[in-house]
Amino acid sequence: MDYTCTVLFRTSQQPDWAALGLPIARTTALSDRCYTHDVTFADDAAVAAFRAQIPELSAAYGGDICLQARNDTYRNKKLVVFDMDSTLIQQEVIDMIAAYADVEDKVSAITELAMNGKIDFNESLRRRASLLAGIPATVFESLKPDIRFTPGAHELCRALKKLGCTLAVVSGGFVPLARWVKAELGLDYAYANTLEISPDGTVLTGQVVGDIVNADRKAQLLRQIAAENGLSPEHAVAIGDGANDLVMMAAAGFGVAFNAKPIVQQKAPARLNTPTLLDVLYILGYSADEQRALLA
C-alpha cells in the first residue's frame, strides 16, 4: 500500500522515522522545511497505526504530518472547495455583523449552544439571523474594507488556477460576501446563505431564505460542482476549519483542516497549522521551486 507522508516542520528537528517503523522508500525535499517520504505499508492496520501517531508526533516536533495515498490524484487535483470564514478570510462574518448591530453577546450565546450540541447548525443560523432584523442592507458593503484575507489565499488560488483547477467557496456565511470573495480571488463558484431583505430594499428582515448551507449541503455542493465539470470527487480537495466542513472533506478525495478547531484536526484527513494558505501546495506535492514558477 503506497503512501506519501508530507512533513512540514517549523523546526529543524524531525522524528526518528526508522525507530517509529516508518518504511521509507524515498525522501524528497520540497523545501528547507518540507519533505515528502514515499512509504509502503503492509496493510490497512499499519496505515491506521501510523495515522494514530500523527497528532502526538506533530505536537512533539512542532509541525504538520500529512499521510495520503500515492495514486494518480496525488498531484492531479482538479477541484478545490474552500470554506470562507477563518479559511479564505481571517474573520467570522456573523460576528462582524453582530458587532455592527451591537448584538455580539446574544450571537455568542447562540454559537455556544451550537458548539455544545444543544441546537443544530440550521437552528443556530436562524436564531442568529433573527437578531439582525432591521440592520441596513448595506451592511455587507460596510464590512468589505474590514475583511482580511488569509495570508497566501490570493497566491494559492492563482497557482491552482494555473494548474487548471476549478475553485469554489462554499460557506455557511452569506451570499454577498461569498460572491465578493469569489471575485477577489478569481474563483469559479460561490455558495452561501441568503439573508432576506425587506421589500423596499433597505434593511435585513432577520430571515434566512432558500437552502441553508450546512455540513450536508456543503458536501452536496462539492459533488454537484464536480459533476458539472465532469470530475470525480476523488479529484477534489476540501479545505476548512470547522466541524461543518468534515462531511465535505469526507465527500472529497482529500481534506485539509486549516488552523482548525481541535475536533476538526482530530477527524480531518490532514491538518495544516501554518500562517499561510500557500503551504497547501506542499501537501499537494509541489516544491518551493515549482510554487515560485507557478506564481511567476
Which of 70, 86, 106 finishes a domain?
70
CATH of the domain at 53: 3.30.70.260
The catalytic position among 64, 85, 241, 279 is: 85
34-40 and 2-9 beta bridge pairing: antiparallel
Task: Note the pLDDT tens digit of each residue in 85-120.
Answer: 999 999 989 889 999 999 989 988 997 787 666 888
What pLDDT was estimated at residue 35?
92
The yes-or-no answer on residue 120 being catalytic is: no
Q: Does 1 share its domain with 136?
A: no
Q: How far is CA 244 from the centre of its chain?
A: 10
| pLDDT profile of the chain (296 residues), mean per 10 | 89 71 88 92 90 86 89 93 96 91 90 78 93 95 96 98 98 96 98 96 96 96 98 96 93 95 89 95 96 96
What pLDDT was estimated at residue 249?
97
Which of 41, 70, 99 finishes a domain?
70
What pLDDT was estimated at residue 11?
63
Which of 53, 70, 87 finishes a domain?
70
What pLDDT was estimated at residue 18?
73
The catalytic position among 64, 83, 241, 245 is: 83
What pLDDT was estimated at residue 13?
66
Domain count, the chain: 2
Nearest to 273 by CA among 67, 9, 12: 9
Q: Does 137 share its domain with 245?
A: yes
Q: Does 94 share its domain with 224?
A: yes
The one-character DSSP state at 121 is H
What pLDDT was estimated at residue 263?
85
What pLDDT was estimated at residue 16?
77
Q: Does 99 share its domain with 12?
A: no
Q: Which residue has the cell 421589500?
A: 199
| Structural domain of 285 | 76-296
What pLDDT was estimated at residue 65?
92
Q: Does 33 share its domain with 126?
A: no
What pLDDT was estimated at residue 115?
62
Q: Does 157 share its domain with 254?
A: yes
The yes-or-no answer on residue 83 being catalytic is: yes
Q: Does 179 share its domain with 287?
A: yes
Nearest to 174 by CA among 148, 210, 123: 210
Nearest to 103 by CA among 124, 84, 138, 129: 129
In the sheet with 189-197, reading across from the earlier edge strand, the strands are 204-209, 189-197, 166-174, 79-82, 236-240, 254-258, 270-272
What pLDDT was estimated at residue 116?
67
Q: Does 16 share its domain with 161?
A: no
Q: Does 63 share its domain with 139?
A: no
CATH of the domain at 89: 3.40.50.1000
Q: Does 272 share its domain with 158?
A: yes
* Cβ contact 229:166 at 8 Å: yes
